[in-house]
C-alpha cells in the first residue's frame, strides 16, 4: 500500500481528496475532527516542498450551489490549524480553479469548492473526473476514508487519469486498524452493534458470524430481535419485515457457536421525549403503549462483563437514544467498559457517529485503540465489501 510517506513531493502539485464533511451551524464549524485528521498528510506534502489542492464534499446539496454547503466556511479553520494562508477557489473545475491549481508554488494550499455542487460527482461521471484530473496536479492522493465506499468521480474514477497516486496517512491508518481488528487471532472478539435498524447491519452481522465470538445488539434494532423471540415490545422500533431474518440470524449464530446478546431489560418511556415518564422492565415485557429507548442496568452489567473479558472490540452504534439525557446511560456504560478493556490490553475500534460522540463526550478518545472517521465506509469494510476508493489505488 503506497502512501504519501513513500513519495517525495518536492516541486510537485498534489490533488488531495479529503473528507471535510463537517458539521456547520450558522457558518461556523462545530466539530473540526475530520479537518484535524487530514493535517498529517497535508503537512507531509508541504514539508517535502510540495503544494496541495484540497477537494471535498460538504453535506448533500440538491440544487447545485447552496451557500450553506460552501467549503468557504472551512477555509479559516483550516488556515488556523495549518498556521498558514489557504486560498479558496469558488469552483472545482472552472478555468479559475485550473489556473490556481496549475500555478501553485511550493508550500501553497488551495481549497476547492464543494464537489457535490456538481451532480456528476455522485454519479461518478468520467468526464467530470477527468476535468478534476486536468486541473494541473502531478499526483493524486486519496485521504478520504469516510467516502471510500462511494464510487464517486473524486474518490475512485479519477485515479485512472494519474500515473502517480497514493493513499494519505489517515486512509492508510484507517485500513491498517480495520484489518488488524479482523485479522488478529486474539479471542474473544466482541462486536457491539447499535443503531435503529437491523436492515442497516444485516451484512455486517452475517460477516461477523464467521469471526466474532460475541455480538452485542442494542439500540432500536434490538427490539426486532426481541419480537422475533416472541417478546412483547409495545411501541418500540421494529422492522416487522425483518423478523424472520432476525430469527434466522439467531439460529445461524447458535450453529456457529457465536453468542448474540440481546438486552434482558430496557429503560422504557411513555413517549419519545426527554421529559417522558420512564420505567425499567424486561425487554420482552414492554407495555403496549410504551417503547424501549435504552438498555437497562442489568443488560448494561451483562454487556460490560463481556466487554471486559474481550481481546478485540468493534463498536458501531449507540445502545439507546443517546441524544436524550435519560436514555444515554447504557451507551456511556459501554463506552467506559471499552476504555477499561483497552487499558487492560484489548484492541478496540470505535466507528459510527453516535458511538464516536459518546467516546468524545466521555473524553475517552485517547483511551480506545482507534476512532474511525468513516461510518458508512467502516460498515461496508466489515461487511466484507471492496471499497471503490481503496480499490482504485491499491
What are 323-370's pLDDT values in tens digits? 899 999 999 999 999 999 999 999 999 987 678 878 888 888 899 999
Q: Is 389 a catalytic residue?
A: no
Residue 71 confidence (pLDDT) above 90: yes
Specify whether the CB–CB gap between 24 and 30 falls below 8 A.
Answer: yes
Tell me how far apart the alpha carbons of residues 199 and 299 are, in angstroms, rounded to a whole number: 23
Beta bridge partners of 142: 17, 167
Rounded Cα–Cα distance for residues 372 and 367 (Å): 14
- Cα 350 to Cα 335: distance, rounded to the nearest angstrom: 9
Task: Answer yes or no: are the C-beta atoms of 169 and 41 closer than 8 Å.
Answer: yes
What are the pLDDT digits (tens) for 189-231? 999 999 888 888 888 999 999 999 999 999 999 999 999 999 9
* Average pLDDT for the chain: 95
CATH architecture assignment, domain 184-382: 3-Layer(aba) Sandwich (3.40)
187 is catalytic: no
In the set 59, 136, 353, 384, the catalytic residue is 353
By residue count, the chain amounts to: 394
User: Where do runs of H (alpha helix) occur along 318-393?
Assistant: 329-343, 353-361, 375-382, 388-391
Average of pLDDT values for 239-268?
A: 97
Helix, strand, coil percent content, the chain, rounded in steps of 5: 45, 20, 40
Query: Is 376 annotated in the active site?
Result: yes
Query: Of residues 197, 211, 252, 385, which has the active-site annotation?
Result: 197
- The answer to whether residue 165 is catalytic is no
Query: What's the pLDDT score for residue 323?
Result: 87
pLDDT one-digit tens code per residue, 88-108:
999 999 999 999 999 999 999
Kindly state the percentage of the chain with pLDDT values over 90.
Answer: 84
Residue of 352 and 392 predicted with greater confidence = 392
- Give the start-to-end residue ranges of the domains of the chain: 4-172, 184-382
CATH fold match for the domains 4-172 and 184-382: yes
Percent of the chain with pLDDT over 70: 100
Fold assignment, 4-172: Rossmann fold (3.40.50)
The residue annotated as part of the active site, out of 43, 376, 384, 385, is: 376
CB 110 within 8 A of CB 127: no
CB-based contact 359:368 (threshold 8 Å): yes
Catalytic residue of the set 12, 13, 17, 34: 34
As a whole number of Å, the end-to-end CA separation of the chain is 6
Phi, psi dihedrals of residue 367, rounded to the nearest 5°: -110, 5
What pLDDT is stored for residue 353 in this prediction?
65
> Which residue would you say has higher pLDDT here, 358 or 388?
388
Reported as a single tens digit per residue, the pLDDT across 263-310 is: 999 999 999 999 999 999 999 999 999 999 999 999 999 999 999 999
What's residue 1's pLDDT? 84
pLDDT digit string, tens, across residues 33-51: 899 999 999 999 999 999 9
Amino acid at each position: 500500500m503506497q502512501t504519501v510517506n513513500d513519495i517525495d513531493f518536492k516541486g510537485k502539485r498534489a490533488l488531495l481528496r479529503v473528507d471535510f464533511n463537517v458539521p456547520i451551524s450558522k457558518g461556523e464549524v462545530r466539530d473540526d475532527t475530520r479537518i484535524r485528521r487530514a493535517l498529517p498528510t497535508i503537512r507531509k506534502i508541504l514539508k517535502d516542498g510540495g503544494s496541495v489542492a484540497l477537494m471535498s464534499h460538504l453535506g448533500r446539496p440538491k440544487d447545485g450551489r447552496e451557500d450553506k454547503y460552501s467549503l468557504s466556511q472551512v477555509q479559516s479553520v483550516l488556515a488556523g490549524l495549518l498556521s498558514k494562508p489557504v486560498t479558496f477557489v469558488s469552483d472545482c473545475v472552472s478555468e479559475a480553479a485550473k489556473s490556481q491549481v496549475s500555478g501553485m508554488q511550493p508550500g501553497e494550499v488551495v481549497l476547492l469548492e464543494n464537489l457535490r455542487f456538481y451532480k456528476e460527482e455522485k454519479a461518478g461521471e468520467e468526464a467530470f473526473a477527468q476535468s478534476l484530473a486536468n486541473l494541473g496536479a502531478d499526483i493524486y492522493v486519496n485521504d478520504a476514508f469516510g467516502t471510500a465506499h462511494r464510487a464517486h468521480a473524486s474518490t475512485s474514477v479519477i485515479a485512472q487519469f494519474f500515473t502517480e497516486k497514493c493513499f494519505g496517512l489517515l486512509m492508510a491508518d484507517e485500513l491498517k486498524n480495520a484489518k488488524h481488528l479482523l485479522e488478529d487471532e486474539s479471542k474473544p472478539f466482541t462486536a457491539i452493534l447499535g443503531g435503529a435498524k437491523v436492515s442497516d447491519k444485516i451484512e455486517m452481522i452475517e460477516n461477523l458470524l464467521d469471526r466474532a465470538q460475541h455480538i452485542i445488539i442494542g439500540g432500536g434494532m434490538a427490539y426486532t430481535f426481541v419480537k422475533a423471540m416472541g417478546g412483547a415490545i409495545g411501541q418500540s422500533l421494529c422492522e416487522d419485515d425483518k423478523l424472520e431474518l432476525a430469527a434466522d440470524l439467531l439460529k445461524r449464530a447458535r450453529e456457529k457457536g457465536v453468542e448474540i446478546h440481546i438486552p434482558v431489560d430496557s429503560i422504557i418511556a411513555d413517549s419519545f421525549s426527554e421529559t417522558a415518564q420512564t420505567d425499567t422492565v424486561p425487554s420482552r415485557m414492554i407495555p403496549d403503549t410504551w417503547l424501549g429507548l435504552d438498555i437497562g442496568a442489568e443488560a448494561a452489567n451483562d454487556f460490560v462483563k463481556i466487554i471486559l473479558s474481550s481481546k478485540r472490540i468493534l463498536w458501531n452504534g449507540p445502545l439507546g437514544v443517546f441524544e436524550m439525557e435519560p436514555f444515554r446511560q447504557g451507551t456511556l456504560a459501554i463506552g467506559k467498559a471499552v476504555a477499561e478493556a483497552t487499558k487492560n490490553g484489548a484492541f478496540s475500534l470505535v466507528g459510527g457517529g453516535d458511538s464516536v460522540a459518546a467516546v468524545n463526550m466521555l473524553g475517552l478518545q485517547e483511551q480506545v485503540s482507534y476512532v474511525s472517521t468513516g461510518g458508512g465506509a467502516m460498515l461496508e469494510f466489515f461487511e466484507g465489501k471492496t471499497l471503490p476508493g481503496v480499490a482504485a489505488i491499491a
